[in-house]
Amino acid sequence: MAGQQAEQTIHVGGEWRAALSGATREILDPADAEPFAVVAEGDEKDADLAVAAARRAFDEGPWPHTPVTERAALLRRVADLLVRDREELGLLESRDAGKTLEEGRVDIDCVADAFRYFADLVVGEGGGRVVDAGSSDVHSVVVHEPVGVCALITPWNYPLLQASWKIAPALAAGNTFVVKPSEITPLTTVALLGLLAEAGLPAGVAGLVTGPGHTVGARLAEHPDVDLVSFTGGLASGTKVARAAADTVKKVALELGGKNPNVVFADACATGEGFDTAVDQALNAAFIHSGQVCSAGSRLIVEESLRERFVAELARRANAIRLGRGTEDGVECGPLVSEQQRAKTEAYVAAALAEGAVLRAGGKRPEPSGVRPATGYFYEPTVLDQCHRGMRVVREEVFGPVLTVETFATEDEAVALANDTEYGLAGAVWTADAGRARRVAGRLRHGTVWINDFHPYLPQAEWGGFGRSGVGRELGPAGLAEYQETKHVYQNLAPKPVRWFAG
């Protein structure tokens, strides 16, 4: 955020500015609920200015016509700058979102990887796909062109990572954009806009408006000069974005979260090492970043014969997770992002207990300590046993450190439980039987399926979900294609009259 005053976090036409209204918002550190930054609080008028600048930059500026190799070179420069500023950005992400410092550093590494991947991918596309028209007198080729002005609306849990999954392919394809980060965690996205300028991106190509979703986000989604809107966030907000975008028939990409099953067969735990690995990964699946992950394995579906042993060890280890400020040594899990998110988590746990769930670990706010200020938004990692599909906590996305336990007796029952969700983002199967692993993975209706693992992703592989987890894909070749229009150019090399009409 160097180079502008604290409240000048709106980026329009290559210049930093305050909100037109003069409104500001304090950014709170979720570890102690204390403000540590101030940003502009933009509204619809600020969004209109940013879109107008992006429109001019696309229609009149050089970026859409810049050679692919030059666009790719800029993306690689951005990646290098991210590596240079890794510690600063990782710390900012940790403090803004509440995650551990190590998680913040890993996020920055992944952001740099995304910029490099899309740089390589767009260069590899070449000059288009030649289509055989069946005649030597015809040259026919399918080419890709930028969509135009893109509105990019990103969530609060992985602020910079989710922004990079949109910004990198949008720029690689030759688009201009306006990004609206979450009003809760905007700081690293603001910093990224500075790095884009430092890398040499022409003024106006990248715009940013800090502000709420119901004003800035809604205006971007409906704006007639926006050609594409890409949104990552909750289901309710995503459906509003889709409705707002419908009137102008713009391209829409939605990543709306999930309720992700982690299926554990008893044979995966036949050895001590297998048991320890499956338990360890179940903890990682559910409690990384306090469960505030769209792909969190919040539904443990374990074979009945293994249930008691597995859950007992899981609960023991969940109770031992060290909570605290993410920048402190030894802390394994930070706070929730806001008081609202903690209250939501508490409500889900209370409802589950009222519906018959059995509390095996957590279920309350921890006692304050040296690394857990009394005012922070902390909540203990929670394990709820004896859950069933009738419970809200099993059906709905909590986005907190809450793991539910269901059981199965047969493979068919395990698959049915795992697919019994309106979402379909991600899931995992744990088994020592290679045939069973392939069968179950093939039957799961989820966009990503892990076998004997949980959470890894590759920038080369598409990310997105089935059902109400959204439409479209990020990452991979399809992630670039979201930001491209496909054009068929048919050239007749020997034109002559058709004589369809006699006269």
Catalytic residue among 93, 103, 183, 294: 294
DSSP secondary structure of 36-71: EEEEE---HHHHHHHHHHHHHHHHHSSGGGS-HHHH
**Phi/psi of residue 268, nearest 5 degrees:** -70, -20
Two structure tokens written together for 457: 């992703």
Residue 333 annotated in active site: no
Q: How many helices (H) and strands (E) does the chain have?
A: 15, 20
CA–CA dist 35, 308 (Å, integer) = 44
Torsion sign, CA atoms 407, 260, 265, 289:
negative
Torsion sign, CA atoms 39, 44, 45, 51:
positive
Residue 255 annotated in active site: yes
Residue 356 Ramachandran class (φ > 0 left, ψ -120 to 50 alpha, else beta): left
Two structure tokens written together for 188: 């690293």
When computed from its CA atoms, the radius of gyration of the chain, rounded to whole angstroms, is 24
In single-letter form, the type of residue at position 43 comes to: D
Count of C-beta atoms within a 10 Å radius of residue 309: 14
Edge-to-edge strands of the sheet including 484-492? 129-131, 138-146, 484-492
Name 74's Cβ contacts closer than 8 Å, sequence gap at least 6.
171, 199, 200, 201
C-alpha separations of 305 from 181, 270, 298 in Å = 46, 12, 21
C-alpha separations of 91 from 187, 350, 375 in Å = 11, 34, 21
**Residue 500 bridge partners (DSSP):** none
The bridge status of strand 261-264 relative to strand 299-303 is parallel
| First and final C-alpha spacing in the chain | 70
Residue 140 Ramachandran class (φ > 0 left, ψ -120 to 50 alpha, else beta): beta
CA–CA dist 219, 217 (Å, integer) = 5
CA–CA dist 157, 347 (Å, integer) = 20
Instruction: Strands of 209-348 (E only): list them.
Output: 228-232, 251-255, 261-264, 299-303
Instruction: Strands of 169-227 (E only): list them.
Output: 176-180, 206-208
Catalytic residue among 7, 93, 222, 255: 255
- Helix H segments across 452-491? 476-481
The set of catalytic residues is 255, 294
